[in-house]
Amino acid sequence: MADSNANPASHSKFRSGSGPQHLDLSSDAAMRKDATAASRASRPFLGVMFRCCNLYARLYRLDDLTAYSGRCPRCGKRLRVPIGSGGTGQRFFETNS
Ligand SMILES: [Zn+2]
């Protein structure tokens, strides 16, 4: 008769790292960036293809963050792309005309 019940290893609970794990989240280096300088250095923009003249131009974000705005470099047609609250993530636009 073979005793196949004897497997004491499977019943031993092995817990490593007992006690509360303490994470040190006191790194505040990210908070110390000069926000004003950074926002001026890299102003967000959208790339837009102006179909009227087949020219590519950039729409720069307005200071009030409500839209991207710019003009066709050739004919001066104005274009304004509102910044939606949903945030499509679309970074490239084309005009229809
Ligand atoms: Zn144009």
pLDDT, mean over the chain: 74
DSSP-derived pairing of the beta strands 45-50 and 92-94: parallel
Q: Tell me whether residue 15 is in a domain.
A: no
What's residue 93's pLDDT?
72
Tell me the backbone φ, ψ of residue 88, rounded to 5 degrees.
-75, -25
CA of 55 to the centre of ligand 1 (A): 7
CA of 33 to the centre of ligand 1 (A): 40
Q: What is the tally of structural domains in the chain?
A: 1
CA of 61 to the centre of ligand 1 (A): 20
What's residue 42's pLDDT?
80
Structural domain boundaries enclosing 86: 30-94
Tally Cβ neighbours within 10 Å of residue 46: 20
When pLDDT is cut at 50, 70 and 90, the band that residue 71 belongs to is: very high
pTM to 2 decimals? 0.49
CA of 51 to the centre of ligand 1 (A): 7
Q: Tell me whether residue 58 is in a domain.
A: yes
- How does pLDDT run across 17-52, given as a tens digit for each residue? 666 666 666 655 545 555 555 445 688 888 999 999
